[in-house]
């Protein structure tokens, strides 16, 4: 991106401080960041404040960012080469300032302007599980023929999405945006900002059920992705999911389904998964370096999106071969003692945990299998029951070693007679694992990110 400070000021309806209009027309910013540690030369700093934002509530979404006031770091960004900063209250600084009513609203206004200026074809991806992998798949496939920009990591909320937009190269042809939600109205706002040409829902699961109480309400929130979808756009969704098929009629435009059922436009057959995934889709064979049979649906969804751009099966397979996954999502790693590590430590919910258990069960191994399972968060009143429901699949799998982590896993650990660890004893967990591991063993690490099992992963590596 490249804007003069004067242009930014006009877009966000601000007031210039510490610089006159003439110099503001000659001062250009080439990046935006809300993290003072990552600010770049000629960057624009966006300080986030810890308070409610009625403008965001009114125009985009209702949310609050917790933490310290980012305005305290404006001078620190100046030392790193920042050209200017936004601010929503008085700041004693010599750095050029654009004062606005709300810095987060200004962030959205600038992102909306830049998206309109570049005007790429836009793909929006959401779902209870699989949205990050599906986003990565779509981007990898489309990159065989197009200049593609996509969400990094999981920058998929009200702060991450405008950041993703403003990081977009000016020659981008297709932008693939992952968008997440944890409350009603959020996807309406995010979809409204993107105004996608293609909207895709991977599946409906139990993620955030603490807030929504039922899968039906989760489906109601997910279907909000179509509110910003262009009338001549395309809606892609899991045709095996009754909660989605019942709501798909809310969009009058083109609809494409994927799944295992014969009714789907993209029909999966002959799915096979151990160390790699292979399947037939509409009688065309594909394979991809992914774990888990459930990823066949994510790949089918990505192929459905890619074929909207006239890619051939050969193009698609090339894109699958070149796939680079976001870290900590069923990532296969090599441990320091010759073991394989299946790391899936970014998030967890009952559906994802059961799938991960099945992946470890079917994964080829010459040694022992170790299940390290941590708490699944944001399950509300159903948390205890949903954790105990994992007892049967764990017992059926017959793993050699089971280690459980977190307060919600205590009852399950007692029933399974398995070692239990709290979040403060991850070092002890790592020590116990290393004492048992040998070359040829396989370790699965699975938990919500709040358990921080990535620390165990790094120690094992």
**Binding site residue list for ATP:** 127-133
| DSSP type of residue 49 | P
| DSSP type of residue 240 | T
SS3 category, 369 = strand
SS3 category, 65 = coil
Distance of CA 59 to the CA centre of its chain: 24
- Other CB atoms closer than 10 Å to residue 380's CB: what's the count? 14
SS3 category, 4 = strand
Nearest to 88 by CA among 80, 97, 96: 97
226 and 250 Cβ atoms separated by less than 8 Å: yes
Q: Where are the beta strands (DSSP E) in 62-105?
A: 84-87, 97-99
SS3 category, 439 = coil
Nearest to 383 by CA among 219, 212, 210, 211: 210
Q: Where are the beta strands (DSSP E) in 100-206?
A: 121-126, 148-150, 174-178, 198-201
Distance of CA 159 to the CA centre of its chain: 13
157 and 131 Cβ atoms separated by less than 8 Å: no
Expressed in angstroms, the distance from the first to the final Cα of the chain is 38
Distance of CA 383 to the CA centre of its chain: 23
- Residues β-bridged to residue 371: 402, 444
C-alpha to C-alpha distance for 36 and 42, rounded to whole angstroms: 13
404 and 412 Cβ atoms separated by less than 8 Å: yes
Rounded to 5°, angle at Cα 156 from 273 and 252: 80
Q: If you search the block for the tokens 């987060």, which residue do you land on?
A: 104
The H or E element spanning position 278 is strand 277-281
C-alpha to C-alpha distance for 111 and 181, rounded to whole angstroms: 19
């Amino acid at each position: 991106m490249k804007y003069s400070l004067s242009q930014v000021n006009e877009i966000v309806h601000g007031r210039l401080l510490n610089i006159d209009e003439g110099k503001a027309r000659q001062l250009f910013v080439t990046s935006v960041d809300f993290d003072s540690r990552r600010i770049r030369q000629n960057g624009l700093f966006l300080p986030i404040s810890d308070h409610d934002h009625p403008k965001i509530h009114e125009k985009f979404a209702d949310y609050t960012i917790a933490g310290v006031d980012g305005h305290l770091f404006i001078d620190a960004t100046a030392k790193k080469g920042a050209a200017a900063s936004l601010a929503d209250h008085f700041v004693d600084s010599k750095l050029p300032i654009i004062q606005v009513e709300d810095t987060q609203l200004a962030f959205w206004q600038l992102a909306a302007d830049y998206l309109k200026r570049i005007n790429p074809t836009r793909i929006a991806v959401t779902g209870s599980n699989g949205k990050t992998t599906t986003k990565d798949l779509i981007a990898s496939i489309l990159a065989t023929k197009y200049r593609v920009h996509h969400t990094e990591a999981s920058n998929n909320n009200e702060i991450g999405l405008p950041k993703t937009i403003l990081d977009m190269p000016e020659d981008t042809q297709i932008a693939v945006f992952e968008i997440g939600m944890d409350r009603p109205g959020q996807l309406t706002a995010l979809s409204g900002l993107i105004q996608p040409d293609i909207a895709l829902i991977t599946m409906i699961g139990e993620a955030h059920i603490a807030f929504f109480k039922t899968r039906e309400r989760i489906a109601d929130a997910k279907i909000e992705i179509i509110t910003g979808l262009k009338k001549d756009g395309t809606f892609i969704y899991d045709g095996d999911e009754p909660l989605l098929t019942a709501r798909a009629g809310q969009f009058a435009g083109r609809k494409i389904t994927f799944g295992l059922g014969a009714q789907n436009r993209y029909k999966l057959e002959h799915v096979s998964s151990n160390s790699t995934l292979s399947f037939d889709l509409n009688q065309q064979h594909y394979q991809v370096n992914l774990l888990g049979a459930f990823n066949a649906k994510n790949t089918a969804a990505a192929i459905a999106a890619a074929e909207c751009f006239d890619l051939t099966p050969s193009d698609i397979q090339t894109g699958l071969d070149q796939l680079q996954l976001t870290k900590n999502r069923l990532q296969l790693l090599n441990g320091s003692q010759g073991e394989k590590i299946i790391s899936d430590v970014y998030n967890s919910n009952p559906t994802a945990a059961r799938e991960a258990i099945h992946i470890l069960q079917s994964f080829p191994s010459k040694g022992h299998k170790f299940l390290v399972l941590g708490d699944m968060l944001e399950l509300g009143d159903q948390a205890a029951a949903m954790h105990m429901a994992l007892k049967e699949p764990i017992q059926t799998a017959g793993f050699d070693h089971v280690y459980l982590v977190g307060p919600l896993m205590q009852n399950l650990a007692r029933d399974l007679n398995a070692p239990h660890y709290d979040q403060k004893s991850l070092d002890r967990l790592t020590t116990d694992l290393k004492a048992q591991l040998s070359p040829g063993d396989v370790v699965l690490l699975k938990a919500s990110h709040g358990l921080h099992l990535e620390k165990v992963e790094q120690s094992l590596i």
